[in-house]
A = this chain, B = another copy of it.
Amino acid sequence: MRRSAEATKAAILAAARERFATDGYEKATIRAIAIDADIDPSMVMRYFGNKDRLFAAAAEFSLDLPDLTATPRDQVGATLVRHFLARWQADDALQILLRTGVTNETAAERIRDVFAAQLAPLIIHLVGDPRQAPTRAALVASQMLGMALCRYILRFPPAVAMSDDEVIAWVSPTIQNYLTGEHPDAH
């Protein structure tokens, strides 16, 4: 026994996360993941059953939004943007979801659920009306996911070159408006 079962399982999971994050679901092969984890492909099946379940385990994910009820109302946008940037950079989870969610319905559903579920309470706390929460959550998601797309996936040079503080300075007013701004007339 070279390693304990837990150790190799963790090694496989780490390799899978990296490969899914950079290659997406289709291009990330079990064989390549196995090589990265220095193990035979059949062990991946032994520990995770099949590729789908391996992906599900690798894409486990939460936004980990902090409690913002104590944050001054006019700074909740900046705080949220700052937190999102940290969350993107903490691990590969969001990159995995973005890279695969674009062509994989299961991953897409995961993203939808995560953003809807974790953003809604905050928004309801900020604006009274719960009916506005889904729309405002979608707007926040569009800007945050869009920035992540440009910066970490497509790697737009100017988006990559911007410092975290610059991104915060530009994007915070947008998020603040989507969260607490009054509903504009749709003409």
- Give, as a whole number of angstroms, the nearest-CB distance from A126 to chain B: 16
Q: Give 29 A-B contacts (CB < 8 Å), ordered by A residue.
A: A26-B103, A98-B102, A101-B153, A102-B153, A108-B155, A111-B154, A112-B154, A112-B156, A135-B161, A135-B170, A138-B159, A138-B162, A139-B170, A141-B150, A142-B149, A142-B159, A142-B171, A143-B143, A143-B174, A145-B154, A146-B147, A149-B149, A163-B186, A165-B187, A169-B186, A169-B187, A170-B178, A173-B177, A174-B174
Residue A17 CB within 8 A of the other chain: no
Q: Which of A93-145 contact B (CB under 8 A)?
A: 98-99, 101-103, 108, 111-112, 115-116, 134-135, 137-139, 141-145
**A residues apposed to B, CB below 8 Å:** 23-24, 26-27, 98-99, 101-103, 108, 111-112, 115-116, 134-135, 137-139, 141-147, 149-151, 153-159, 161-163, 165-166, 168-171, 173-174, 177-178, 184-187
- Give, as a whole number of angstroms, the nearest-CB distance from A171 to chain B: 8
User: Which of A112, A139, A153, A186 has the largest number of chain B CB atoms within 10 A?
Assistant: A139
- Give, as a whole number of angstroms, the nearest-CB distance from A60 to chain B: 19
- Give, as a whole number of angstroms, the nearest-CB distance from A166 to chain B: 5
Q: State the number of copies, please.
A: 2
| Nearest B residue (CB) for A97 | B154
B138 touches A145 (CB 8 A): no
Contacts of A23 in B (CB 8 A): 103
Alpha-carbon separation in the docked complex, A145 to B186 (Å): 21
Contacts of A138 in B (CB 8 A): 150, 156, 158-159, 162
